[in-house]
Amino acid sequence: MDAHQPSISPPEILAPAGNKASFLAAVAAGADAVYCGLKLFSARMEAKNFSIAEFTALVGLAHKKGVKVFVAVNSLLKPNDLMRAGQFLDLLQRRVKPDAIIIQDLAMVSLIKQTGFSGEIHLSTLASASFPAALQVIRQQLQVDRVVLPRELSVDELRTLARKCPPNLDLEVFIHGALCYGVSGRCYWSSYMGGKSGLRGRCVQPCRRRYAQTGQTHRYFSCQDLSIDVLAKVLLSIPKVRTWKIEGRKKGPHYVYYTVSAYRMLRDHHHDPKMKKDALHLLARALGRPGTHYHFLPQRPQNPINLHRQTGSGLLVGTIKGARQNSYFITRERLFAGDVLRIGYEDEAGHSIKRIGRSVPKGGRLHISPSLKKAVARGAPVFLTDRREKHLDDMISDLEDQLDPIKRHSENVSPFVPSLPTGISIKTRMTDLPVYRSWPGSNPPGQLGLWLSGGTIKKLSGKMVSRINWWLAPVIWPENENTVNEHLQLAIKKGGRHFVLNAPWQIALFKKQKGFNLWAGPFCNLANPLAIESAGAMGFNGAIVSPELGAEDYFKLPRHSPIPLGIVIGGNWPLCVARTLAEDVQQNKSFSSPMGEQAWATRHGTDYWIYPNWKLDLSVHKKALHRAGYALFVYLIEPLPKGVKMKKRKGLWNWDIKLR
C-alpha cells in the first residue's frame, strides 16, 4: 500500500436490539454499533423496544464502551403523527443523544432540521434507494449521511452503486437475518388484509402462511434467512460499504451475541480457516432460520424459498409425537433449563410457547402438556427460539451492573410544534386517470396513463406519446437503470412531458425538471404534509398520496399540501412487489389463503407482482374527496389472467378501519 494513502478502517458491525438483554449482548459481543427502536415510530413495533429512561442509561454505557447507537424512527408518518414525532426527536436530542436516526419518511428530514438534532441521518431500506442515480439526489436534496441498501442486491450491483456513490455518503448492507418476501417499502400485504402496515412496523407476516394452488398447500412465500457468512469477506473489497448490518430486533440475546461474534471473526480473521469454521458453527447455532446467499453471487443466485425446508424461526429440535394427552418429542439437541421452545407455527392450531424448567439430554424425551384450548398437532415442528447460557448471562449481568442508575425525569411534553406548509387554495377540476399496462387498443377520451415501456413508445405517434402520463416502476434495480433511461429518453424525444415517478429518487433521471409535469406516484408512500412539501422541493409538480390511509387522514392532507394531490380511487393494487418467486408457484393462476382470500402472481419486467382478486374501490367517496381538494383520481387497470375470477367485495382498504 502507498505510504501516503490513508488506511481504510474495516466496516462496522451493526447489531440489532429489541430489549435490554439483547442490547447488552451486542455490547458484550463487540458490536461497533447497535440499532434499536423506542416505543414510537419504529419499523419493528412488535419488538419490546425501550422506554426513554431505560434507553438513556443504555446509550450512556454504550458510549463509554465506544459503541455507537442508532435509533430507528423509520415509520410511515400520518398527518396526526407529526407533532408527536417532532416532540420525540426533541426528547432524543435533549436526553439521549444517539449517534444517528434511521428514517424512511421524507417528513423526518424536515422534523430533524426543525428540532436541531445534531447526529447523522440514515435512510432506511424501506425508502427503496435501489439504483445508482438515486444516491446523488438523496445526498444533495436530503443531506442524508448513509443509505441502507435493499437486501435483494448482488455483489456486482453493490459495486455499481459504490462506484456512483457521492464521496460524502456511506452505504450500509444487510449481511444476516430475516428476508421479507416483498421488496422493502413495496409490500402492502399485511395492510391490505387488515390495516397493520409493514411501513409502520406492524406487519403480521401473511407471507409466512400456508397457501394452496392446484391442489398443493405450501408456504410459497416464506423465505429463509439471509446469511452472507463466508462471502462477507467480498464486501471488504468495497470500501463504500461502511456498515454490515444484522437484522433481528425481535430476537433474543443469544442470537445477537452469536451473530455479532461470528461476523467479527469473518471480518477480522477471514484468512484463517479455523476461525471461518468457528464462525459458521456460531451462525448455525444462532437460532435463526436456515440461511441463503440469495442474490449475493449473481453467477450462482439462490431462491430463498425452499418448500422442502422448515422456515420457522429458531433451531428445529424435534417434531411432536403421541396423542393429545400424551404429546412429546425426542430432542435432537441438548436442551437447558430456561430454553424457550415454540411448538408449531404461529398460524397453526396448537401453536404455543414453552419455557422448559430442566435440562434434557440429546435424544431425550420431553413431554408437552396441552392447554385446555389448544391441541398439540402430531407432527408439529418444535423450534428452540432462545436460550441464555450461563457465560452469556454473566456478561450481561456484569454490563448491567455498570449501567448508571436510571434517572426518573418528569417527561414534560416538548413545546415543539412542527411548521407545516400552507395548502394551495386553487380549486382544481376533477381529472380521471386510467393507467394500463399496455395500449388499450382504442383512443380513450381524457387523460391516459401507461406503464413505461420502450415497445409501447415505439408503436405510438408523437401526438399520443405527448398526452400520455408515463408511469415508472416502483423498483429500479442497477441492472435496469440504463434501460429505464433509454425508454425515458425515447419518450421525451417523441414529445413525452407527463411522468409519474414511483420513488422520490427517480427524479434523478430527469436532468432538468423544467418543461416536464412530474408527479410523485402512490408507491412514494407520501402520507403527511411535510413529506409532500419535501417532494415539492425536490421538483415534483403534484403527488398521488399513499393508498394505505384511512378516511380521516385523506381529508386532512389537502389542507396543508403545497402541490396538487391525487389519489388511487380504484383498480388493481398489488399486495407486494418482489424480486423472486418460488419455482412451484404457477404464474397467472389463483392461489388461496386458509381464510379463502385469493391472489395471483405475475411478472412485470424483472419483478413479480402479487395481486388480490378484489379491487380497491373508493369511488363512492369520490365527490367528497374532490371537495376536500383532490384533483387527480387514478384507476389502476391490470390484465386479468385467464381463469382468475375477481370477487365482488368492498374494496375500501383502510378507509374505515384506519391505518395502524
Model confidence band, residue 371 (pLDDT cutoffs 50, 70, 90): low
- pLDDT (mean) for 485-504: 97
Nearest to 379 by CA among 355, 412, 349: 349
pLDDT of residue 409: 59
Contact 171, 149 (CB under 8 A): yes
- pLDDT (mean) for 19-44: 87
CA distance 607 to 454: 17
pLDDT of residue 322: 87
pLDDT tens digits for 507-529?
999 987 789 999 999 999 999 99
- What pTM, to 2 d.p., does this model score? 0.95
- pLDDT (mean) for 29-35: 98
CA distance 533 to 510: 19
- The CA distances from residue 359 to 250, 259, 338, 339, 356, in Å, are 25, 24, 8, 9, 8
pLDDT tens digits for 149-181?
999 999 999 999 999 999 999 999 999 999 999
The domains located in the chain, with CATH, are 12-178+226-287 (3.20.20.70), 315-386 (2.40.30.10), 431-637 (3.20.20)
pLDDT of residue 410: 53
With DSSP H G I counted as helix, E B as strand and the rest as coil, what are the percentages for the chain, rounded to 5?
A: 30, 20, 50
Mean pLDDT of the chain: 93
CA distance 638 to 436: 6
pLDDT tens digits for 232-288?
999 999 999 999 999 999 999 999 999 999 999 999 999 999 999 999 999 999 999
- Residue 482 pairs in a beta bridge with none
